[in-house]
Structure 1
């Protein structure tokens, strides 16, 4: 909700989620979102990773380990319901 924006809630949730992924040994994270917002957390468009039907600049990745894999990413159908 607009009145909740700017209070650091989103930042706290993202940082907590990234910390949990690191603890679980994830090698990286992908998301579909606003580059200006997610860029502050280190997310960037990665030309080697694609998501069909999505403008490349909005499909972002953040490596947790040393490298970014290459390929076509797919989401579980539940994300589109």
Structure 2
């Protein structure tokens, strides 16, 4: 992680500001995926359940299996890279 920050700082120092901004965004996204790999489920809005219009009956969300959160795309890529999977 320190090496990436040093590389971004070197790019900024040489005048590659657009590349540095993109690299900084990627580093920030990867760091947040490592720190917090979950995001709220967009299907159930983080509730984990789907309710009827009257609010009484419910069923578990099929996308997140009732947890209300899902793995972020970056977290899945990091996990596959860490475990050596390429499928």
Which structure has more relative contact order (CA 8 Å, sep 6+)? It is 1
Quick check: which has more Rg, 1 or 2?
Answer: 2
Name the TM tier (shorter chain).
under 0.3
TM-score using structure 1 length: 0.25
TM-score using structure 2 length: 0.24
